[in-house]
Structure formats: C-alpha cells, structure tokens
Structure 1
Amino acid sequence: MKTLKSALVVSALVAMPVAHADVLGFGASIGYWDSDLSGKAAKGSDRVNVENDLDLSNNTEANLSAYLEHPIPLLPNVRLSYLHIDQSGSGELGTGFDSIPGGVPVDSSLDWRQTDLTLYYEVLDNWVNLDLGLTARDLDAELEVTDTTGLYPVSRTEVSAVLPMLYAAGRFDLPLTGVSAGITGNIISYDGDSVYDYDIYGQYVFAGVQLRAGYREMAVDYEDGDERLDIDVGGPFASVGFSF
C-alpha cells in the first residue's frame, strides 16, 4: 500500500501541468543582507556559543543570483546563486573549547560560502506565480577560534557538503503596477541534520529593472564527522536586478 501511494504521488507530480515561458528569458541580481548570527558550534563534546562566547558581529553580506528560463517543454529552468558570509568578533570562552580552556580571551572568524544550482518548473505563470524544483547546495563553512595570548593552538571547525534541497517560490503580482510580493524557500531534513533558507519580500519592477526588499533567514544544523554547526542567520535584505 505504501508503494502504491508513492507511485500515485510520483504519477501526480509527473502529470502536473507545467507552464513555460513563451520566449527565452534571463535575469540577474545583486543583494545585500544585514544579517545577525546566533547558535552553537561543536567539536566532539565541546561546544561554544557563537553569539555569547565569540561575539561574532553582524555584517552586510553580498549575494549574487542569475536565472535562465526558456520555452522548451519538460526541460527545467535554471537558477544559480552565491552567498558569502564573513563575520568576525572578539570574546571570551565561558568553557573550554577544543584545545582552548575556558576564561581565555579569543578572536574568531566565520567564513561561510555556498553556491546553489536550482532546476525548477513554472507551475503557474500569470498574476499568481509558482515555481517548484530541486536545489543542489554546495556548502563550505569554517569557524576559526584563536586565543589572543598565543599559548594554545588555533581551533578550526569545518563543515563541507553538497546538499539536495526542495525548492519553492511563490509570487503575487498586482496587475498593471509592477508591484508584487513573494516568498522563496529551500529545505531539507534528514537523519538529524536539517537546513532551511527562506526570504519574504516586496518588489517593484520598471523597464526591466527589479528592486526588491524583505527579510531572509537561514538555519543550518549539520554534522560533519565530530564537528557540528547549529547556526541561525537572519535579517533584512535589499537587492537590485534586471531581466530581459
């Protein structure tokens, strides 16, 4: 029965009517994200709070995206995006972490890079828009903690993975105004690990120029060997782009 239900779901997805662009379309944008960071990092049984112990400061992160849509039926549209989070801070460890004992002043930095390749279909394409697809996310993050006395080795916590994620994007257009509102999201949860990333925005388009502003939040709870990052990043963003 479970196999039959799965087959019916797959058949329904395959049979789902898919809209496609009448002409070839391309767009690109650059955005700035004023993000706050919270959460924990772990190496084995040692844990550190990135906000309270390391005092990692908020920062303005740049992100890039581009998409290609085409009129060829059954072939998915393509979206690429890139995000770089670079945050640093100075704090004091409340408890020992890795080889650094508690009570030691430390400098820290987080270097987070991710590239998304999304293949998607336009399920609806009128004043209500809906895209559904899959994202492959190449995630590479490193947290470095250095004690300011120089007495202890530098601690590095690294997570690297390529994650398959479900992708959905919905948008409501107010006809004849260029004004719209929407939400975009990626998500995966498997075997104790989970990643989600969403943004809610308002948008204005004129003469092919796209102005967008909203709120974005990303949460990663991922274990790579004995190293783990459980981090939330969130804050307002703004972007400018073009399409033709």
Structure 2
Amino acid sequence: MKKSILTAAILTASVTIAKADIIGAKLGYNYWNTTNHGDFQTVYGQIEHPIPLLPNLAVGYSRLNHDKLKFDSYDASGYYEILDNGNIALDLGLGVRRFDSGEYRNASFSDTVPMLTADVELFQDSIISFYSKLYAGRSGDTDFNDLEVGVRFYLFAGLKLQGGYRTYDIDMDGTKGIHDDERIKGFNLGLHWDI
C-alpha cells in the first residue's frame, strides 16, 4: 500500500514538473509614430518562473525626442500571472517608472514614480490575438496614464507582429518650472517574442 501511494505521488509530481514552465521570457520592440510628439520608441522584456509567491520581473525603456517634450524613461516592476488559460492571460503588478533627462519647453525635469501595471492578452495561442497594456503612476510631481491596445499576428517560433493605438497622458504640474500636462497619442507597430 505504501509503495502504491509513493508511486502515485512520484508520478503526480513528475507530470506536474513536466507541465510547468521552468522559465519563460517575453521581449518586444515598438515604434510609435505619434500624431503630435514625433517618434517614440520602446523596448521591453519580461522573465517568468514557476516559483510560488515570488513575482515575475518586467523591465522597459522608452525614448521620446521632440522639440516640445523629450525624456528617457526606465521601468522596473514585479507582477503575478492572475490568469493564463490559452483564451485569456492577465498579469497585474507594481513597479516604478524613472523619468530622466526630461525637458519640457526648456524646463528640465526628472522623477521616479511608483506605478500599477496591467497586461491582458486574449486568444494568445491563436494566429490572431488581442492585447492591452496599462501603466498608471502618481508621485508628488508627476502623474501619468499610459494605455495601449492592439492586435498581434503570429509569425513563427513565438514571434508576433503587433500593431495598436497608444495614449500617454503625463501631468507635470508639480514639477518645478512646469505647469502643464501633455497627451501623446498615435498608432504604433512592433514585434513581440514569447519564448
């Protein structure tokens, strides 16, 4: 009886380990041709693991270079997979966005802003899938809401072509010498690789 229970436990553990992802990664690049602020480029990466309670890691970098507004931003966040069943994937997390080398109408700014993150993908195992990303942050000097929605087309080996629409509201009224907010918007195009 003990041998049967032990054998069943080993088989169950073996199946569970075989099904679990040992480690996974997502990489992406977006070129955003905004309607009012020139070119905006973003690269991002995510690392996922099967360790319970330990959050997955996401990082990102964006660069905006326009006569009116320019900045570099760096993202770092931890997130959890709330759902992932083939039809819907939902990730929720917390992190920070660092604004660096910022200039707005000849006034300089920089800030580190805590943020909430949400990432949703529908039908991610299909040839065509739909996605949405939301980053929302607030500090004493800077508030922002960064929302992107779009569609992905599966190419090969986990690589997808993606295109969507993005709006980025940034309020810098608390920053010294700056009393205004901006809405950056437009269509973007890029690649998303789910390894």
Q: Structure 2 length normalisation: TM-score?
A: 0.80
Confirm whether residue 116 of structure 1 aligns to residue 75 of structure 2.
yes
Equivalent residue number for residue 56 of structure 2: 77
Q: Which runs of 5+ in 2 are unaligned?
A: 1-19
Change (3 A) 1:193 1:81: closer
- With 58-67 and 112-121 compared, the bigger mean Cα shift is at 58-67
CA contact (8 A) 1:128 1:171 kept: yes
Per-residue deviation, 1:143: 2.7
| Cα distance in structure 2, aligned partners of 1:224 and 1:32 | 28
| Cα distance in structure 2, aligned partners of 1:61 and 1:25 | 27
CA contact (8 A) 1:196 1:219 kept: yes
- With 226-235 and 185-194 compared, the bigger mean Cα shift is at 185-194
Q: Match for 2:73: what amino acid? A: Q
CA contact (8 A) 1:159 1:229 kept: no
Change (3 A) 1:115 1:122: same
Per-residue deviation, 1:158: 1.6
| Cα distance in structure 1, aligned partners of 2:124 and 2:194 | 18
Per-residue deviation, 1:117: 0.7
Equivalent residue number for residue 6 of structure 2: none
Per-residue deviation, 1:188: 2.9
| SS of residue in 1 equivalent to 2:179 | strand
- With 135-144 and 214-223 compared, the bigger mean Cα shift is at 135-144
Identity of aligned residues (%): 28
Per-residue deviation, 1:130: 0.7
Equivalent residue number for residue 143 of structure 1: 104
Change (3 A) 1:189 1:241: closer
- Which of residues 137, 142, 149 is equivalent to 1:188? 137
Equivalent residue number for residue 90 of structure 2: 130
| SS of residue in 2 equivalent to 1:228 | coil
Q: Match for 1:161: what amino acid? A: D
Change (3 A) 1:69 1:208: same
- With 185-194 and 212-221 compared, the bigger mean Cα shift is at 185-194
Confirm whether residue 230 of structure 1 aligns to residue 181 of structure 2.
yes
Confirm whether residue 241 of structure 1 aligns to residue 187 of structure 2.
no
Q: Structure 1 length normalisation: TM-score?
A: 0.65
Per-residue deviation, 1:189: 4.4
Q: Map 1:169-188; keep pairs closer than 5 Å.
A: 169-173=119-123, 177-188=126-137
Equivalent residue number for residue 11 of structure 2: none
| Cα distance in structure 1, aligned partners of 2:52 and 2:63 | 34
Per-residue deviation, 1:179: 1.6
Equivalent residue number for residue 67 of structure 1: 46
CA contact (8 A) 1:168 1:186 kept: yes
| Cα distance in structure 2, aligned partners of 1:170 and 1:243 | 14
| Cα distance in structure 2, aligned partners of 1:226 and 1:87 | 19
Aligned residues: 172
Change (3 A) 1:66 1:198: same
Change (3 A) 1:157 1:209: same
Deviations 1:118-161 (A, max 9, x none): 210000011111111112000121135xxxxxxxxxxx212211
Confirm whether residue 164 of structure 1 aligns to residue 126 of structure 2.
no
Instruction: Please tell me the root mean square deviation across aligned C-alpha atoms, in Å.
Output: 2.0
| Cα distance in structure 2, aligned partners of 1:63 and 1:192 | 23
Q: Which runs of 5+ in 1 are unaligned?
A: 1-20, 38-57, 89-108, 145-155
